[in-house]
Amino acid sequence: MIIIAIVIGCVLGAIIGLNAPTISYTYSGYLAIAIVAALDSVFGGLTSVLKGNFNLKIFLSGFFGNAILSMLLTWLGVKLNVDIYLAAIVVFVGRMFTNLAIIRRYYIEKWSKKEVKEEIKNENEKKTMG
């Protein structure tokens, strides 16, 4: 059910995005940072779903809060003449990799457990046959 919602959201979002007016190039930097932050939140959400402690409120507040905060930081960096957006990117992308690693390990462990179970099953069957 959730997967269907995600697919529908992706397709509709792509259509809307392709038809929406473009924004000024000056602000595209802020938008890029917001996108990275949102992606980080999405991966974080996926990880929490796998861990079983997914909370919609935390997910939503992280999604929008991180995006807005990163945009504000970028703006502040421009005003201070410091490339703060680099720090935001490092943090968010680092966390994305961490979350991806967690997801990857989860599925690999699950898959290998299945194999082990099947082997045990097969052996049991052989024993009963014999």
Partner 1 sequence: MKKGQITITVTIGLVILILTAVIFIQFKTINQTDITSLENMREDELRTEISNFKTKIEEVNGQIKETDATILEYQEAINSNKQASELLVKELEKQNNLLGKNDVQGSGVIVTLTDTRAQKINSEDLRTLLNELKLAGAEAISINGQRIVYDSYIVDIESTFISVNGVGLVSPYEVKAIGDPTYLESGLSKKQYGYIDTKLEEGKDVTLQRQDNIVINKYNGDLNMEYAN
Q: Dihedral of CA 56/61/62/68: which sign?
A: positive
The answer to the question of residue 39 lying near partner 1 (CB under 8 A) is: yes
Among the listed residues 28, 61, 112, 122, the single contact to partner 1 using CB under 8 A = 28
Nearest distance, CB of residue 118 and partner 1, angstroms: 31
Name the packing angle between helices 56-80 and 84-129 (round to 10°).
150
Q: How many CB atoms lie within 10 A of CB 18?
A: 7
- The helix/strand/coil state of 81 is coil
Number of helices (H) and strands (E), helices first, in the chain? 4, 0
> Measured from the CB atom, is 14 or 72 closer to partner 1?
14
The answer to the question of residue 12 lying near partner 1 (CB under 8 A) is: yes
Binding stretches for partner 1 (CB under 8 A): 1-2, 5-6, 8-10, 12-14, 16-18, 20, 22-23, 25-26, 28, 31-32, 34-35, 38-39, 42, 45, 56, 59-60, 63
